[in-house]
């Protein structure tokens, strides 16, 4: 049986049957590397053809003691176990398992490195922490002689000595699951300077003492054999604090740049880091932290995390809307046969051409399949006559910080500073819900957006797309001040052929002075207003002008209604597109 098949069998034995193995022995890059996709579809293992772990008597002696007859297979098997352990092994979840837990580890490490003034080295420390738990998980399925061979290779590459951090990492691994043979095999790479030995020993002790204190175990050697200790270390909800303490105990060993030694799986970079950079990954992480009652992570801009959270929250707003389609008949097969009466017709029948034949005149003629089976093929119609602009005018006075009843019961402020039961929270959900809806309906790429805030002054993001930082900053700004409209700003920002939405929770202080100009300004727009609470002078004037005004309490009913109104508007526009007739009103 070949090496690749042996590794594939090992993968399947670990319960990773649905994960494809891609193995190569190209003589480039690191001697040994591996990685796995975060969707677990593919595992990559690379062992250079010229890799020879039996290059010295020390290694040969180590392998003989371990009864290892094929060291390359041993290394490959260890990599397969390690990569599988990032997900799960035979149903037992590994580390980090998914991007949510990976982010919690990043946050723990980041908190510690900020305290230690080691910002910028988070990725290296995160990889090492995750590998400690991954190896602990995998030790029940291999002796990990291959892991020792991997570390031996790193020692040789690094000038026959481990960096202080890497030595600490190796020693913590060995304490959890290693043995005397592995320790003796690798000790040639340990630092021999007294001050460095003391520093490393202190870091190892600090972290292991923390584990002992939290787990209640006085002896943590061979942790993989001790079920309660193993389960404590593999408890995902504890990883953020565990990672924080790991980084806190080892950060002083880091230089200004990460050590040059690699980890298993470092060939293509950490795949969870790549997923964390996607919109989907960001939303999953923000939503998970929010639901767990946590604050935003310290490793990423808070504005970006709030934006991701509102995107995720607004996806829960369900709107019943028709997927407007047209359909055309398309042939799926041709059948029967006949000869063309005239060969001049062949160009019109190329798709039906099946050969040649002899006609009644004894002449060569083209043979076609004259009949066809057809089926209707529906396709979605995206309206191109949607207004050029989407403009939201949002009340940002201090009263928007209140709960929907005008009180102080604003809910949790752990992730959302204003609280998840504040009026501004529900207003944001509505705005994000509109953007999500338009994105799903493939309208958003065709329009520019503008968010205009009014309180004691009026300010706007300017016409832009919803991905711009200015747009996000405006939506996520904290309300303050009183309520007035600066008509000069509005006249500049509000365009004709706009879909225009406004939202307020009270009177506009200077309404009498700007009412006439406001009325002129909204001409040529499709305008709808949402009023939190009862009628007031502002909303009644809008109604008298024929503007649709919706009165809402200001909780989730607001968010849902805002999206419902837009979907109704979209429906009218799309129906008009299908009929080649765009209506001027949508209610």
Same domain as 346, residue 433: no
* Chain-centre distance for alpha carbon 499: 31
Query: Do 359 and 240 have their domain in common?
Result: no
Residues 352 and 372 in one domain: yes
pLDDT band at 564 (very low <50, low <70, confident <90, very high): confident
Give one word for 266, left, alpha or beta, with left for phi > 0 and alpha for psi -120 to 50.
alpha
Q: What interhelical angle do 122-138 and 99-115 show, nearest 10?
A: 130
- Answer with the residue of higher pLDDT: 141 or 205: 205
Per DSSP, the residues of 480-544 read -S-----HHHHHHH--SSEEEEEEESS--TTHHHHHHHHHHHTTTSEEEEEEESS--HHHHHHHH
Domains held by the chain: number: 3
CB 246 within 8 A of CB 173: no
Do 550 and 401 share a structural domain? yes
Residues 370 and 508 in one domain: no
Residue 564 in domain: yes
Given 344, 379, 414, the domain boundary residue is: 379
Instruction: Report the pLDDT averaged over residues 1-24.
Output: 90
What stretch of H or E contains 432? helix 423-440
Closest CA to 131 of 46, 249, 34: 34
Averaged confidence pLDDT in the chain? 85
pLDDT at 323 (0 to 100): 39
Q: Provide the 8-state DSSP code for 371.
A: E
CA dist list (Å): 504 to 301, 394, 508, 513: 29, 7, 9, 18
Q: Are 413 and 419 in contact (CB under 8 A)?
A: yes
pLDDT (mean) for 376-401: 71
> Which string of b and e fits 275-307 if b means at least 16 CB within 10 Å?
bbeeeebbbbbbbbbbeeeeebbebbeeeebbb
The pTM assigned to this predicted structure is: 0.77
How many C-beta atoms lie closer than 10 Å to residue 351's C-beta?
10
Residue 38 has pLDDT above 90, yes or no: no
DSSP-assigned states of every residue in 216-256: --S--TTGGG-HHHHHHHT-GGGHHHHHHHHHHHHGGG--S
What local confidence, expressed as pLDDT, does residue 326 receive? 42
Residue 580 has pLDDT above 50, yes or no: no
Q: Which residues contact 432 (CB under 8 A, 6 or more apart)?
A: 310, 311, 313, 314, 475
Residue 513 covered by a domain:
yes
Beta carbons of 412 and 294 less than 8 angstroms apart: no
Angle, helices 71-85/3-13, rounded to nearest 10 degrees: 30
- Tell whether 246 is covered by a domain: yes
Provide the H-helix boundaries in 66-189. 71-85, 99-115, 122-138, 145-157, 164-177, 180-186
Q: CB of 463 within 8 A of CB of 449?
A: yes
Q: What is the 3-state secondary structure (H, E, C) of 388-424?
A: CEEEEEEECCHHHHCCCCCCCCCCCCCCCCCCCCCHH
Beta-bridge partners for 379: 326
Residues 133 and 200 in one domain: yes
Confidence of residue 586 (pLDDT cuts 50, 70, 90): very low
The answer on 408 and 357 residing in a single domain is: no
Say which DSSP state 38 is in: T
Q: Pick the residue with more confidence: 447 or 81?
A: 81
Each residue of 57-71: pLDDT tens digit?
A: 999 999 999 999 999
Do residues 583 and 572 touch, judged by C-beta distance below 8 A? yes
Burial 487-500 (b: 16+ CB within 10 A, else e): bebbeebbbeebbb
Confidence (pLDDT) at 258: 62
293 within some domain? no
Say if residue 266's pLDDT is above 70. no
Same domain? For 218 and 344 the reply is no
Is 475 domain-assigned? yes
d(CA 3, CA 5): 6
For 54, phi then psi, to 5°, come to -90, 45
Is there a single domain that holds both residue 374 and residue 267? no
Calculate what percentage of the chain has a pLDDT beyond 90: 50
User: Would you say residue 1 has pLDDT above 80?
Assistant: no
CA 303 to CA 416: how far, in whole Å? Answer: 10
Note the pLDDT of residue 585: 37
One domain for residues 221 and 155: yes
> Between 261 and 226, whose confidence is greater?
226
Find the mean pLDDT for residues 355-372. Answer: 74
Residue 187 belongs to a domain: yes
Check whether residue 111 and residue 64 sit in a common domain. Answer: yes
Same domain for 438 and 330: no
In a domain, 62, yes or no: yes
Q: Which residue in this structure is represented by tokens 């290779």?
A: 153
* Tens digits of residue pLDDT in 102-129: 999 999 999 999 999 988 889 899 999 9
Q: What pLDDT score was predicted for residue 555?
A: 79
Last residue of a domain, one of 379, 402, 417: 379
The β-bridge partners of 333 are: 373
- Please, which residues bridge with residue 366 across strands? 356
Q: Are 51 and 32 in contact (CB under 8 A)?
A: yes
Domain that holds residue 230: 50-277
pLDDT tens track for 311-341 = 999 876 755 433 333 444 555 566 567 777 7
Euclidean distance between CA atoms 451 and 85, whole angstroms = 46
The answer to whether residue 113 is domain-embedded is yes
Domain end: 277, 294, 309, which one?
277
288 neighbors 540 (Cβ within 8 angstroms): no
CB neighbour list of residue 421: distance below 8 Å, 6 or more residues apart: 403, 404, 409, 410, 411, 555
């Amino acid at each position: 049986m070949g090496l690749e098949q042996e590794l594939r069998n090992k993968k399947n034995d670990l319960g990773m049957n649905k994960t494809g193995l891609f193995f190569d022995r190209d003589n480039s890059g690191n001697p040994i590397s591996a990685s796995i996709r975060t969707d677990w579809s593919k595992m990559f293992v690379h062992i250079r053809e010229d890799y020879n772990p039996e290059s010295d008597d020390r290694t040969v002696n180590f392998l003989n003691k371990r009864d290892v007859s094929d060291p390359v297979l041993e290394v490959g098997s260890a990599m397969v176990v390690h990569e599988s352990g990032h997900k799960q092994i035979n149903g037992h979840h590994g580390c980090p398992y998914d991007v949510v837990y990976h982010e919690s580890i990043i946050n723990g490490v980041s908190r510690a490195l900020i305290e230690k003034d080691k910002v910028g080295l988070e990725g290296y420390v995160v990889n090492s922490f995750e590998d400690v738990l991954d190896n602990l998980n995998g030790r029940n399925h291999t002796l990990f002689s291959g892991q020792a061979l991997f570390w031996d290779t790193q020692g040789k590459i690094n000038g026959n000595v481990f960096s202080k951090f890497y030595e600490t990492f190796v020693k913590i691994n060995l304490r959890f699951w290693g043995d005397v043979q592995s320790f003796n095999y690798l000790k040639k790479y340990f630092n021999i300077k007294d001050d460095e030995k003391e520093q490393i020993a202190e870091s190892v002790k600090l972290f292991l003492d923390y584990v002992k204190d939290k787990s209640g175990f006085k002896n943590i050697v061979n942790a993989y054999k001790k079920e309660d200790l193993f389960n404590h270390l593999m408890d995902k909800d504890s990883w953020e604090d565990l990672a924080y303490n790991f980084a806190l105990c080892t950060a002083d060993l880091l230089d200004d740049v990460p050590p040059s030694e690699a980890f298993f799986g470092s060939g293509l970079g950490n795949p969870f880091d790549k997923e964390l950079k996607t919109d989907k990954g960001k939303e999953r992480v923000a939503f998970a932290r929010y639901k767990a009652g946590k604050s935003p992570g310290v490793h990423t801009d808070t504005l970006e995390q709030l934006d991701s959270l509102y995107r995720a929250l607004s996806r829960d707003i369900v709107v019943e809307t028709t997927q407007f389609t047209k359909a055309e008949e398309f042939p799926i097969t041709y059948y029967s046969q006949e000869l063309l009466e005239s060969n001049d017709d062949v160009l019109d029948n190329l798709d039906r051409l099946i050969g040649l034949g002899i006609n009644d005149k004894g002449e060569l003629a083209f043979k076609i399949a004259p009949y066809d089976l057809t089926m209707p093929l529906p396709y979605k119609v995206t309206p191109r006559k949607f207004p050029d602009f989407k403009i939201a005018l949002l009340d940002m006075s201090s009263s928007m910080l209140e709960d929907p009843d005008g009180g102080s019961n604003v809910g949790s402020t752990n992730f959302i500073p204003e609280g998840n039961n504040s009026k501004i929270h529900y207003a944001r959900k509505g705005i994000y819900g509109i953007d999500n809806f338009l994105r799903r309906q493939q309208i958003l790429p065709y329009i520019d957006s503008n968010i205009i805030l009014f309180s004691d002054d009026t300010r706007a993001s300017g016409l832009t797309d919803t991905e711009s930082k200015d747009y996000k900053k405006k939506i996520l700004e904290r309300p303050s001040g009183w309520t007035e409209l600066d008509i000069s700003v509005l006249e500049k920002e509000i365009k004709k052929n706009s879909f225009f939405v406004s939202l307020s929770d009270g009177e506009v202080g200077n309404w009498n002075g700007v009412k006439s100009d406001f009325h002129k300004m909204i001409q040529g727009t499709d305008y709808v207003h949402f009023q939190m609470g009862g009628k007031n002078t502002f909303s009644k004037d809008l109604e008298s002008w024929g503007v649709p005004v919706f009165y809402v309490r200001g909780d989730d009913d607001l968010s849902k209604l805002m999206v419902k109104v837009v979907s109704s508007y979209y429906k009218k526009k799309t129906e008009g597109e299908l009929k080649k007739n765009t209506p001027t009103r949508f209610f």
